[in-house]
């Protein structure tokens, strides 16, 4: 974004900026998920995060197609919100010694990422719908549904696959 000029003039510009923001965010998530996977211990958590890393790679490709459809080059705009969520995850993980407590923290950090993505995709879909970009709506909805499913899986891992229960017994 320009410092001296206001670059976002139309809702179309706003949509493009939002797409650049989520494109950057997805790329940062691709970089940070392997670190979370390395630190996680619970098997279900590790498997879930690995599967979502693969999904996230496909989401990046889907976003590239969205830019293509709009006749724009795929490019990211730095997103301080996702940088902050990832930074906080790194910081908290660095403070935790117990592996079970660390798993509970990793679930929480991953869910913060998913909720952020769900919020952004929801908005982008609404804007794309309003602007009549039906094909783009379909790509973005696929990504949104994957984020929602990832969030639900994280709930299951925390509540029913023993992550929170095991963490609660750590001294
Ligand atoms: Fe994503
Ligand atoms: Fe995600």
Tokens 């940088």 locate to 83
Is residue 28, in this structure, part of any structural domain at all? yes
Is residue 5, in this structure, part of any structural domain at all? no
pLDDT of residue 43: 96
Q: Say how many Å lie between the CA of residue 148 and the centre of ligand 1.
A: 10
Domain with 159 in it: what CATH number?
1.20.1260.10
Which of the ligands is closest to the CA of residue 149? 2
Q: Say how many Å lie between the CA of residue 171 and the centre of ligand 1.
A: 35
Is residue 67, in this structure, part of any structural domain at all? yes
Is residue 6, in this structure, part of any structural domain at all? no
Tens-digit pLDDT profile for residues 32-73: 999 999 999 999 999 999 999 999 999 999 999 999 999 999
Which of the ligands is closest to the CA of residue 49? 2
Is residue 26, in this structure, part of any structural domain at all? yes
**Measuring CA to CA, which residue among 155, 50, 28, 170 is closest to residue 102?**
170
What are all long-range contacts of 166-169, with beta carbons under 8 Å and residues at least 24 apart?
166/42, 166/100, 166/103, 167/98, 167/100, 167/101, 167/103, 167/104, 169/100
Give the total number of structural domains in the chain.
1
> What residues sit around ligand 1, an ion, with C-beta below 5 angstroms?
26, 56, 59, 117
Is residue 4, in this structure, part of any structural domain at all? no
Q: Say how many Å lie between the CA of residue 14 and the centre of ligand 2.
A: 22
The range of the structural domain enclosing residue 122 comes to 11-168
Is residue 82, in this structure, part of any structural domain at all? yes
Is residue 100, in this structure, part of any structural domain at all? yes
CA angle 10, 13, 17 (to 5 degrees): 145
DSSP letter (8 states) at residue 63: H
Where are any strands of DSSP class E within the chain? none
Q: Say how many Å lie between the CA of residue 110 and the centre of ligand 1.
A: 11
Tens-digit pLDDT profile for residues 94-153: 999 999 999 999 999 999 999 999 999 999 999 999 999 999 999 999 999 999 999 999
pLDDT of residue 7: 87
């Amino acid at each position: 974004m320009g410092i001296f000029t206001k670059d976002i003039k139309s809702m179309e510009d706003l949509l493009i900026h939002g797409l650049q923001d989520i494109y950057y965010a997805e790329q940062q998530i691709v970089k940070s998920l392997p670190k979370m996977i390395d630190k996680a211990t619970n098997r279900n958590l590790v498997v879930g995060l690995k599967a979502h890393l693969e999904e996230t790679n496909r989401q990046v490709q889907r976003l590239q197609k969205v830019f293509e459809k709009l006749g724009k080059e795929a490019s990211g705009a730095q997103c301080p919100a996702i940088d902050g969520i990832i930074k906080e995850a790194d910081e908290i993980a660095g403070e935790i010694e117990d592996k079970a407590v660390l798993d509970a923290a990793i679930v929480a950090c991953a869910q913060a990422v998913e909720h952020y993505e769900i919020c952004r995709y929801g908005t982008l879909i609404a804007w794309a719908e309003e602007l009549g970009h039906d094909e783009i709506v379909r790509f973005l909805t696929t990504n949104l549904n994957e984020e929602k499913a990832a969030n639900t899986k994280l709930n299951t891992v925390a509540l029913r696959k023993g992550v929170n229960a095991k963490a609660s017994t750590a001294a």
